[in-house]
Structure 1
Amino acid sequence: MRVAVRGCQLVLLVLVAAFAVTTVPGVRGDGFDTALDGWLQGSAYVACAVVALLRPVRSVVARPLWVLVATALVLRALGFVLYLGYVRTLTPAPYPSVADLAWLAMSVVLLAALAVRARSLAPRVSTTLVLDAVLGALTVAAVSIALLYDTLEHLTRAGTPGDVVATNLAYPAVDVALLIVVTGLLMASQWHPPTSDLVLAVGVVGFAVGDTAFLYQLAAGTYHPGSWLAATSLAATAAIALAGWSGLDREPEPVELAPPGIGIPVLFALVCVAMFLAASLGHLPLGSTLLTAAALVVAIARGALTLLEDRAVAGRVLRNTNEELVRFQALVEASGDFIAIAAPTGAVLYVNPAGRRMVGLPPDVDVATTTIEDYLTEEGQQLSARVEVPAVLERGHWEGQSTLRNRNGGPPVPVAISSFLMYRPDGGGPFALATVQRDITERLESERAVQELADQRQDLLGRLVQAQEDERASIAADVHDDSVQALAAVDLRLGLIRRKLVEAAPELLESVDKTLETVQVATGRLRHLLFDLELPALELGVGTALEDAASYVFEDSDIEWEISGPRDLGLAPAARVTAYRIAKEALINARRHAQARHVTITLERDDTGATVTVEDDGRGVDTSQLVDRPGHLGLSSMYDRATIAGGRLEIDSRPGEGTRVSLWLPMGSGG
C-alpha cells in the first residue's frame, strides 16, 4: 500500500511539473492543445483525485476532513473530464454547463471540509482568537469585493442571461468564502498552523486566487488556454491533494498557542482604515464599505477585550505577587533562625524578629543604620572577610560555622551559617546578600557531652585493657616462677635418675623416658602460654611487635610471611594492645587451621584511623560459621575486642580461597 501511494504521488508531481513547463511563454502557442490542455492537464487532475482518495483509505486519522477534501477533488477532476470530453465538443459550448456544476460543487464541498477543521479547532481557541478570525475574514471579504466589483459588474451587465449571471456570481462568491474561512483559520492559529493545515491553506488560497484571476481575465477578454493561470490552478489543486499526507499518523491539532499578539489584528485594522480612506474618495462599493466598517467594529472590540484581559492578567500577577510576599514574610518572621539581608555595600536591609532577639537588637532600632560587622564577633569578622565573602562572590553560596556578637554583653552565639546571593527574578544579576544562621549552642553542648562520654569510655577501656594486661602479666610471672621452675626441676631430677638406671635397672628406662617426654611437652606448653600472656614492648610500635610475634608463631614451619606498612600506627596504648592481640590471634589461626603457605601482614593509617590486615592463602572457611561456633572462642574474642575499642573487624573467607582478617581502629580509641 505504501509503495502504491508513493507511486501515485510521484506520478502526480511529474504530471504537474510537465504541464507547468508547457505553460512557459514560447514553449507552445496560445490556442487550446488537445494533448497538453486535454490529456496532460486532465490526467493531472485525475491524479490529484486519486492521491486525495488514498488518504482516508490509508489512515483513519481525521478521516471526515480528508474524505470531504477527496470528494472535492473528485468533483474537480469530474468537471475537467466532462468539459474536455463532452462540453467542449458541443457547438456552441454551453455556459453554464454540467462541468460548471461540478466545479462549483467542488468549492462548496471544500468549504465544508474547512468548516469541519474549524469545528475541531474551535474548542481550543479563546474569544480573542475568534475575534481575530472574524476581523481577518471581514477584511478579506471587503478587499475582495473592492477588487472584484468592476469584474462582476461587467460579467452581470444588462442583457446577460440569468443563469449566466448566477454562475458568474457563484464563482467569486465561493472563492471569497474560501479565502475568508482560510484567513479565519490562520488567524485562529496565530499564523502557526500544523503542516497539513498550512499546505491545505496554501492550496485553497492558490485555487481561489486562480479562479478570481480567471474571472478578471475573462471579463477583460485576455484569457487563453495553457497560460500560467492554468498551471497555478493545477499546482494549487495538487497541494490540496498532498496536504493530508503530512499528518498521516497524528491528529491535525494546532501547535501550542501563546497569548495572542496584536500585530496581525493591527495590520488588518490599518487595511480597513485604508479602505475607508478609499471610500471617502468614492472608489469603494457599498458592500465593501459596510464590511470594512464591520471589521473596524470588531477591531475596536478586540482592542477593548485585550485591554480588559491585560488588566485582569496584571491584577492576577499583582495579587499573586502580594500573596507570595505575605507568605515569604510570614515564613521568615515565624522562623527561629537569624535571617538577614544586606546590600552589596554591607549595609543591612532586613533582620527578622528571631534574629533581633538572638543578638539582643531592640525592635525599635532601624537595621538600616547598621552594617554586617555590627553583628559579628572579632572572630566572625575575620572569617567573613577571609572565607565567607570571597566564597559567596565566587560560587554564590557558602556554608560554615561562626559566632554572632551579643549586643547585651552576653557570651557570643555560636551559629551554623548558610549565606548566598539573591538574584533578581527577571534574570538580572545579584542585588543583595542573604544569610540564614541557626543557634547551635545546644548542639555544641550536646557534642561536648558526647565527647566527654567518649573520653570517659576510652579511659575506662584503657583501664580495662591495662587491668587485663596486668592480670596476664601476674599470671605469666606466677607460671614462670612457679610452674615452669618446678617442671624444670622435675626434668633435671628425671635426667639424674635416668643416668643411674642405665646400669642399675635398664628395664625402667622406657618408663622414665616417657615421663621425661611428658614433662618436656608440658614445659613447652607452658612456654607457649607465657608467649600468649606476655605483652611485648609496644612502645616500639605495633608493627615491630607483630614482627616478633610472626617470627615466634611461624618458627619451625614452612609458612612464609611478610609485613608491610609503617611500624608505628600512632594509636593510643590501649588501641595498640587491641591491635596486637587481634592480629596475633589471626596469625595463630593461620598456622593452626588454615594450612597456609604464605601470610601477609599489612599496616595502614590515615587521618581517621589505622588498619591492620592479616591475609593467608590457606584453605579458607565458611564465614557464616565462624562466630558462635564451638571451638572458635578466639574469633569471638577478636570481635569483642574490636567492638569495645570502637573499631570494626571484618573476616572475608571462602573455602579454598584463603582468609582475610581486617581490623580498623579509630585514631582516638584507647584513650
Structure 2
Amino acid sequence: MRNDRTIKWLILLIPTLTIGLWEYIRHAFLLPYLSMELGNLLAPFIVLAVTLTLVRSLFARLEQSQQALQREKGTNAALEERERLARELHDGISQSLFLLAVKLDVLDEMKIDGPVKELATGLRETVRVMHEDVRQAIANLRLPPSPAAAAWVVPLRELLGETAEMSEAQADFSWSIPDVSLSDKEKVELHACLREALINVRKHANATKVLVVGEADGFGGFRCAVEDDGKGFSGDPLQSPGRFGLRMVRDRATAMGWNFLAERRGDWTIVELRKQGGAAS
C-alpha cells in the first residue's frame, strides 16, 4: 500500500517537475539560443515524452500492484470460504453421521435376525463410507491450495490410490492435459466429476484394475475417463436406483458443454467426459 501511494504521488508530480526543470534549464542555459516562442512550443512535447516513458511505466507498475492485491484478496476470500465449508461439514453432516452410527450400534445390540439384520449391516457400511467421504472432504478443504502447476490433480491421484488399496486393485494414472489449457472452472468441474466417478468405483465395482485417463486432443479439447474392470452395470446406469453420483456427473458435464458417456465395453466400465476442440466452456 505504501508503495502504491508513492507511485501515485510520482504520477502527479512528474509532469509538474518536468515543466519546472525545463523552464529552469531554458532560462539558465538556453535563453541565448532558444526563442521564447519555440521554448513554449517545445514544453508540451517534452511533457508528453516524459509521460510516455516514466509516467507510463509507473502506471504499469501500479496496475500490476493492484492486480496482485486483488489476487491476494481473492485467495484469502477462497481460504475463508473453504474453512467455513469445512466447519459446516464438521458441525452438520459429520456429527449427524456419527449420531446415526451410534444408533446403529444400539440396533446391533438388539436381538434381531433376517432382513432387518441385513438392512442394519448395509446401513452401517453406507454410513461408514459416507463418513469417510465427509472426513476426506473436510481435510481437503482445510489444505491450502497449492500454486504448483497441475497441483489440482494430486488429490485425484491420491483418491485413485486409496480406491485401489481398498479394492486390492491395480491403479494407473495417465494424465497429459496441459494445465494451462484448462480454465479454473474446468479444473473445478473435472475434479468433482472424476472424484465422483472414483468414489462410485470404490463403492460398487469390486474391480481389480482402475484407470484414470486425461488426454488432450491437440485442438483445445480433451478426453477424461475413469475405467475399471469391475462388475459394472446392466442397462442404462442413469436409470438405476442409487446412481445419484453418475447423474450428478452427467449434469455437471452438460452444464459445461462436455459430452458424457457411461457404458460397458467388454470387461471394462467407462465413465468418460469429452470436450471437443474449440468448444467454449
Q: How do 1:408-557 residues align onto structure 2 when only pairs under 5 Å count?
A: 474-481=84-91, 484=94, 525-532=130-137, 537=145, 540=148, 541=150, 542-557=152-167
Q: Which amino acid aligns with 2:212?
A: I
For the 8 Å contact 1:601–1:613, the answer to whether it is kept is: yes
- Pairing 1:558–2:168 present: yes
Pick closer, same or farther for the CA change 1:560–1:538 going to 2, 3 Å: farther
Q: Which amino acid aligns with 2:161?
A: S
2:251 to 634, 640, 654: 640
Shift in Å, 1:532: 5.0
Shift in Å, 1:558: 0.8
Q: Any idea what SS the aligned residue of 1:627 has?
A: helix
Shift in Å, 1:545: 2.7
Shift in Å, 1:520: 11
Pick closer, same or farther for the CA change 1:483–1:632 going to 2, 3 Å: closer
Supply the distance in 2 between the matched residues of 1:511 and 1:554 (Cα, whole angstroms). Answer: 32
Instruction: Give 1:592's aligned residue.
Output: 203
Pick closer, same or farther for the CA change 1:631–1:488 going to 2, 3 Å: closer
Shift in Å, 1:525: 3.5
For the 8 Å contact 1:603–1:610, the answer to whether it is kept is: yes
Q: Any idea what SS the aligned residue of 2:241 has?
A: coil
Supply the distance in 2 between the matched residues of 1:539 and 1:564 (Cα, whole angstroms). Answer: 21
Supply the distance in 2 between the matched residues of 1:487 and 1:625 (Cα, whole angstroms). Answer: 31
Shift in Å, 1:488: 7.9
Pick closer, same or farther for the CA change 1:530–1:488 going to 2, 3 Å: closer
Instruction: Give 1:609's aligned residue.
Output: 221
Instruction: Give 1:663's aligned residue.
Output: 273
Supply the distance in 1 between the matched residues of 2:187 and 2:280 (Cα, whole angstroms). Answer: 8
Instruction: Give 1:306's aligned residue.
Output: none
Pick closer, same or farther for the CA change 1:522–1:640 going to 2, 3 Å: closer
Q: Any idea what SS the aligned residue of 2:167 has?
A: coil
Q: Any idea what SS the aligned residue of 1:589 has?
A: helix
Shift in Å, 1:644: 0.7
Pick closer, same or farther for the CA change 1:634–1:599 going to 2, 3 Å: same
Q: Which amino acid aligns with 1:639?
A: R
Cα-to-partner distance string for 1:208-262 (whole Å, 9 max, x where unaligned) = xxxxxxxxxxxxxxxxxxxxxxxxxxxxxxxxxxxxxxxxxxxxxxxxxxxxxxx
Tell which has more relative contact order, 1 or 2 (C-alpha 8 A, sep 6+): 2
Supply the distance in 1 between the matched residues of 2:193 and 2:263 (Cα, whole angstroms). Answer: 15
Pick closer, same or farther for the CA change 1:585–1:479 going to 2, 3 Å: closer
Shift in Å, 1:568: 4.9
For the 8 Å contact 2:166–2:202, the answer to whether it is kept is: no
For the 8 Å contact 2:206–2:230, the answer to whether it is kept is: yes
Cα-to-partner distance string for 1:107-135 (whole Å, 9 max, x where unaligned) = xxxxxxxxxxxxxxxxxxxxxxxxxxxxx
2:236 to 596, 610, 625: 625
Supply the distance in 2 between the matched residues of 1:631 and 1:648 (Cα, whole angstroms). Answer: 22
Q: Any idea what SS the aligned residue of 1:548 has?
A: helix
Supply the distance in 2 between the matched residues of 1:642 and 1:604 (Cα, whole angstroms). Answer: 16
Pick closer, same or farther for the CA change 1:487–1:648 going to 2, 3 Å: closer
Shift in Å, 1:544: 1.8
Shift in Å, 1:514: 5.4
Supply the distance in 2 between the matched residues of 1:668 and 1:539 (Cα, whole angstroms). Answer: 27
Q: Which amino acid aligns with 1:646?
A: G
Cα-to-partner distance string for 1:538-569 (whole Å, 9 max, x where unaligned) = 75524323102213334433122110123753
Instruction: Give 1:650's aligned residue.
Output: 261
Q: How do 1:391-406 residues align onto structure 2 when only pairs under 5 Å count?
A: none
Shift in Å, 1:652: 3.1
Cα-to-partner distance string for 1:557-586 (whole Å, 9 max, x where unaligned) = 312211012375331111111111111122
Pick closer, same or farther for the CA change 1:601–1:539 going to 2, 3 Å: farther
Cα-to-partner distance string for 1:410-464 (whole Å, 9 max, x where unaligned) = xxxxxxxxxxxxxxxxxxxxxxxxxxxxxxxxxxxxxxxxxxxxxxxxxxxxxxx
For the 8 Å contact 1:646–1:666, the answer to whether it is kept is: no
Q: How do 1:128-277 residues align onto structure 2 when only pairs under 5 Å count?
A: none
Q: Which runs of 5+ in 1 are unaligned?
A: 1-466, 495-509
TM-score with structure 1 length normalisation?
0.23
Q: Which amino acid aligns with 1:608?
A: G
Shift in Å, 1:472: 8.5
C-alpha RMSD of matched pairs (Å) = 4.4
Q: Which amino acid aligns with 1:577?
A: V
Supply the distance in 1 between the matched residues of 2:84 and 2:129 (Cα, whole angstroms). Answer: 19
1:583 to 185, 190, 194: 194
TM-score with structure 2 length normalisation?
0.51
Cα-to-partner distance string for 1:332-353 (whole Å, 9 max, x where unaligned) = xxxxxxxxxxxxxxxxxxxxxx
Supply the distance in 1 between the matched residues of 2:239 and 2:165 (Cα, whole angstroms). Answer: 30
Q: Which amino acid aligns with 1:616?
A: D
Q: Any idea what SS the aligned residue of 1:556 has?
A: helix
Supply the distance in 2 between the matched residues of 1:649 and 1:666 (Cα, whole angstroms). Answer: 12
Pick closer, same or farther for the CA change 1:513–1:618 going to 2, 3 Å: closer
Pick closer, same or farther for the CA change 1:615–1:597 going to 2, 3 Å: same
Tell me how many residue pairs correspond in the alignment. Answer: 183
Supply the distance in 1 between the matched residues of 2:96 and 2:269 (Cα, whole angstroms). Answer: 40
Cα-to-partner distance string for 1:571-608 (whole Å, 9 max, x where unaligned) = 11111111111111221222222221001111112232
Shift in Å, 1:638: 1.2
Instruction: Give 2:65's aligned residue.
Output: none
Shift in Å, 1:482: 5.5
Instruction: Give 1:78's aligned residue.
Output: none
Cα-to-partner distance string for 1:369-417 (whole Å, 9 max, x where unaligned) = xxxxxxxxxxxxxxxxxxxxxxxxxxxxxxxxxxxxxxxxxxxxxxxxx
Q: Which amino acid aligns with 1:643?
A: T
Q: Which amino acid aligns with 2:231?
A: R
For the 8 Å contact 1:563–1:602, the answer to whether it is kept is: yes
Supply the distance in 2 between the matched residues of 1:539 and 1:556 (Cα, whole angstroms). Answer: 30
Q: How do 1:291-310 residues align onto structure 2 when only pairs under 5 Å count?
A: none
